[in-house]
Structure 1
Amino acid sequence: MNKISRHPLSSLGYQFIDPKYLPEGADEYYLRNKQNRTKTLFRNLSASELEQLVRNHNQADNWNNILVSDAFNPDLVKNCKFFGLIRIGKLEPFFLEYHNLRMPVGLYNSTIISCDIGDNVVIDNVNYLSHYILGDEVVLVNVNEMSTTSHAKFGNGIVKEGESEDVRIWLELCNENGGRKVAPFSGMLPGDAWMWSRYRTDERFQSKLLSFTQNEFDVKRGYYGKVGDRCIIKNTLIIKDVWIGSDAYIKGANKLKNLTIHSTADASTQVGEGCELVNGIVSEGCTLFYGVKAVRFLMAAQSQLKYGARLINSYLGSNATISCCEVLNSLIFPSHEQHHNNSFLCAALVQGQSNMAAGATVGSNHNSRGADGEIIAGRGFWPGLCVSLKHNSRLATFTIVAKGDYPAELDIPIPFSLLSNDVTHDELIVMPAYWFQYNLYALSRNAWKYKARDKRIEKFQRLEFDFLAPDSMVEVLNSITVLEELCGKAFFAKHPTGQEESNQSIKQKGKKLLSSKDPLVKELDIFATGWENSKRKIRLIKVAEAYTLFKQLIQYYPVYCLSEYYSKVDLSNESFLKELTSKLPAPDMWINVGGQLVPKLCMDQLIADVKEGEINSWNDLHDRYIKLGNEYEEAKTKHAFAIAFADQGIETSDFDKSQLFEMLEASKSFRQAMSEKIYSSRKKDYDNPFRNMVYANEEERDLVLGALEDNGFIQTEKEESQKFIQQINDFQNSLNI
Structure 2
Amino acid sequence: MNNITRLPLDSLGYDFIKKQYLPKGKDEYYLRNLQNRNGTKYRQLSAFEIEVLVRNRNTSDNWNNILVSDNFNPELVKNCKFYGLVRIGKLEPFFLSFSDLKVAVGLYDSTIISSDIGDNSVINNVHYLSHYIIGQEVILTNINEIQTTDICKFGNGIIKEGEQESVRIWLELCNENGGRKILPFNGMLPGDAWLWSKYRDDEALLEGFKQLTETEFKTARGFYGKIGDRTVIKNSNIIKDVWIGSDAYIKGANKLKNLTINSGEEGRTQIGEGCELVNGSVGYGSRIFYGVKAVRFVTASHTQLKYGARLINSYLGSNATISCCEVLNSLIFPGHEQHHNNSFLCAATVMGQSNIPAGATIGSNHNSRGADGEIVAGRGFWPALCVSLKHNCKFASFTMLAKGDYNYELNIPFPFSLISIHPITNALVIMPGYWFMYNMYALKRNAWKYGDRDQRKEKAQHLEFDFLAPDTIWEMMESIRLLEKYTGLAYFKSQSPQGQPFKEPDLDTLIQKGKELLSDPDSPVESLTILASGIENSKRNVEIIKVRHAYRCYNDMVRLYGYQALFSEQRLNEVKHLKGLLENLPTSPKRQPWLNVGGQLILEKNVETLKDRVRNRKIQSWDQLHEFYKTQGDKYEEQKRTDALAVLSEVLALNPATLSKDQLTGLAEDYLRIQKWMVDQIVISRKKDYTNAYRKMMYENEKEMEAVVGKFSDNSFIKDQKKTLKKLTEQLSRFV
- State the match for 1:639 in structure 2: 643
Which residues in structure 2 correspond to 1:276-295 (within 5 Å)? 276-295=276-295
Tell me: CA distance 1:158–1:658, structure 2 relative to 1, closer, same or farther (3 Å): farther
Q: Which of 691, 701, 704 matches 2:695?
A: 691
* CA displacement 1:36-65 (0-9 Å, x = unmatched): 001111101111111100000000000000
Q: CA contact under 8 A between 1:556 and 1:663: conserved in structure 2?
A: no
Query: 2:125 aligns to what SS in structure 1?
Result: strand
- State the match for 1:482 in structure 2: 482
Which amino acid is the alignment partner of residue 608 of structure 2? D
Correspondence 1:508 to 2:512: yes
- State the match for 2:7 in structure 1: 7
- State the match for 2:664 in structure 1: 660
Deviation of 1:599 after TM superposition, in Å, equals 1.0
Q: CA contact under 8 A between 1:410 and 1:533: conserved in structure 2?
A: yes
Q: Which of 526, 529, 546 matches 2:550?
A: 546
Query: 1:685 aligns to what SS in structure 2?
Result: helix
Which amino acid is the alignment partner of residue 363 of structure 2? G
Question: Structure 1: which 5+ residue stretches go unaligned?
Answer: none
Q: CA contact under 8 A between 1:514 and 1:544: conserved in structure 2?
A: yes
- State the match for 1:272 in structure 2: 272
Deviation of 1:502 after TM superposition, in Å, equals 2.7
Which amino acid is the alignment partner of residue 449 of structure 2? K
Deviation of 1:727 after TM superposition, in Å, equals 3.7
Query: 1:347 aligns to what SS in structure 2?
Result: strand
Q: CA contact under 8 A between 1:250 and 1:271: conserved in structure 2?
A: yes
Structure 1 distance, partners of 2:503, 2:85, is: 93
Q: CA contact under 8 A between 1:61 and 1:84: conserved in structure 2?
A: yes
- State the match for 1:107 in structure 2: 107
Tell me: CA distance 1:711–1:171, structure 2 relative to 1, closer, same or farther (3 Å): same
- State the match for 2:605 in structure 1: 601
Structure 1 distance, partners of 2:158, 2:293, is: 23
Deviation of 1:160 after TM superposition, in Å, equals 1.2
Structure 1 distance, partners of 2:690, 2:137, is: 53
Tell me: CA distance 1:564–1:170, structure 2 relative to 1, closer, same or farther (3 Å): farther
* CA displacement 1:671-693 (0-9 Å, x = unmatched): 11111110110111111111111
Q: CA contact under 8 A between 1:68 and 1:88: conserved in structure 2?
A: yes
Structure 1 distance, partners of 2:227, 2:569, is: 44
Q: CA contact under 8 A between 2:462 and 2:600: conserved in structure 1?
A: yes
Query: 2:531 aligns to what SS in structure 1?
Result: strand
Deviation of 1:642 after TM superposition, in Å, equals 1.1
* CA displacement 1:109-161 (0-9 Å, x = unmatched): 00000000000000000000000000000000000000000110000011111
Q: Which region of structure 1 is more displaced relative to structure 2, 645-654 or 173-182? A: 645-654
Correspondence 1:120 to 2:120: yes
Structure 2 distance, partners of 1:236, 1:16, is: 25
- State the match for 1:725 in structure 2: 729
Structure 2 distance, partners of 1:120, 1:526, is: 75
Which residues in structure 2 correspond to 1:141-220 (within 5 Å)? 141-220=141-220
Deviation of 1:662 after TM superposition, in Å, equals 2.2
- State the match for 2:432 in structure 1: 432
Q: Which of 526, 529, 532 matches 2:536?
A: 532
Correspondence 1:98 to 2:98: yes
Correspondence 1:252 to 2:220: no
Q: Which region of structure 1 is more displaced relative to structure 2, 357-366 or 269-278? A: 357-366
TM-score calculated relative to the size of structure 2? 0.97
Deviation of 1:265 after TM superposition, in Å, equals 3.6
Which residues in structure 2 correspond to 1:108-507 (within 5 Å)? 108-363=108-363, 365-496=365-496, 500-507=504-511
Q: CA contact under 8 A between 2:565 and 2:645: conserved in structure 1?
A: no
Correspondence 1:612 to 2:612: no
Which amino acid is the alignment partner of residue 42 of structure 1? Y
Structure 2 distance, partners of 1:475, 1:75, is: 71
Q: CA contact under 8 A between 2:263 and 2:284: conserved in structure 1?
A: yes
TM-score calculated relative to the size of structure 1? 0.97
Query: 2:405 aligns to what SS in structure 1?
Result: coil
Which amino acid is the alignment partner of residue 169 of structure 1? I
Deviation of 1:666 after TM superposition, in Å, equals 0.8
Tell me: CA distance 1:382–1:581, structure 2 relative to 1, closer, same or farther (3 Å): same
Q: CA contact under 8 A between 1:343 and 1:356: conserved in structure 2?
A: no
Q: CA contact under 8 A between 1:364 and 1:390: conserved in structure 2?
A: no
Which amino acid is the alignment partner of residue 659 of structure 1? Q
Q: CA contact under 8 A between 1:421 and 1:429: conserved in structure 2?
A: yes
Q: Which of 676, 679, 696 matches 1:675?
A: 679
Which amino acid is the alignment partner of residue 530 of structure 1? G
Structure 1 distance, partners of 2:279, 2:622, is: 21
Which amino acid is the alignment partner of residue 696 of structure 1? E
Q: Which of 567, 577, 580 matches 2:582?
A: 577
Which amino acid is the alignment partner of residue 711 of structure 2? A
Structure 1 distance, partners of 2:464, 2:289, is: 29
Structure 1 distance, partners of 2:439, 2:547, is: 17
Which amino acid is the alignment partner of residue 312 of structure 1? I
Which amino acid is the alignment partner of residue 279 of structure 1? N
Deviation of 1:506 after TM superposition, in Å, equals 1.7
Q: CA contact under 8 A between 1:342 and 1:359: conserved in structure 2?
A: yes
- State the match for 1:706 in structure 2: 710
Which amino acid is the alignment partner of residue 271 of structure 1? I
Deviation of 1:417 after TM superposition, in Å, equals 0.4
Query: 1:149 aligns to what SS in structure 2?
Result: coil
Which amino acid is the alignment partner of residue 22 of structure 2? L
Structure 1 distance, partners of 2:313, 2:392, is: 19
Deviation of 1:670 after TM superposition, in Å, equals 0.7
Q: CA contact under 8 A between 1:173 and 1:197: conserved in structure 2?
A: yes
Q: Which region of structure 1 is more displaced relative to structure 2, 159-168 or 493-502? A: 493-502
Tell me: CA distance 1:726–1:614, structure 2 relative to 1, closer, same or farther (3 Å): farther
Tell me: CA distance 1:12–1:454, structure 2 relative to 1, closer, same or farther (3 Å): same
Q: Which region of structure 1 is more displaced relative to structure 2, 157-166 or 234-243? A: 157-166
Query: 2:664 aligns to what SS in structure 1?
Result: helix
Query: 2:681 aligns to what SS in structure 1?
Result: helix
Q: Which region of structure 1 is more displaced relative to structure 2, 673-682 or 610-619? A: 610-619
Tell me: CA distance 1:218–1:304, structure 2 relative to 1, closer, same or farther (3 Å): same
Q: CA contact under 8 A between 2:578 and 2:664: conserved in structure 1?
A: no
Q: Which region of structure 1 is more displaced relative to structure 2, 209-218 or 705-714? A: 705-714
Structure 2 distance, partners of 1:583, 1:245, is: 52
Deviation of 1:707 after TM superposition, in Å, equals 1.2
* CA displacement 1:443-476 (0-9 Å, x = unmatched): 1111111001100011010000000000000011
The count of aligned residue pairs is: 731
Q: CA contact under 8 A between 2:387 and 2:401: conserved in structure 1?
A: yes
Which amino acid is the alignment partner of residue 402 of structure 2? A
Which amino acid is the alignment partner of residue 542 of structure 1? K
- State the match for 1:559 in structure 2: 563
Q: Which region of structure 1 is more displaced relative to structure 2, 502-511 or 297-306? A: 502-511
Q: CA contact under 8 A between 1:348 and 1:363: conserved in structure 2?
A: no
Which amino acid is the alignment partner of residue 524 of structure 2? L
Deviation of 1:723 after TM superposition, in Å, equals 2.6
Structure 2 distance, partners of 1:469, 1:217, is: 37
Tell me: CA distance 1:343–1:694, structure 2 relative to 1, closer, same or farther (3 Å): farther
Structure 1 distance, partners of 2:553, 2:730, is: 23
Structure 1 distance, partners of 2:294, 2:538, is: 37
Which segments of structure 1 move beyond 6 Å, counting only runs of 4 or more?
Answer: 573-576
Structure 2 distance, partners of 1:460, 1:564, is: 27
Deviation of 1:399 after TM superposition, in Å, equals 0.3
* CA displacement 1:475-501 (0-9 Å, x = unmatched): 111111111111101111111278653
Which amino acid is the alignment partner of residue 586 of structure 2? T
Which amino acid is the alignment partner of residue 360 of structure 1? A
Q: CA contact under 8 A between 1:170 and 1:184: conserved in structure 2?
A: yes
* CA displacement 1:190-214 (0-9 Å, x = unmatched): 0000000011111111100000000
- State the match for 1:82 in structure 2: 82
Correspondence 1:625 to 2:612: no
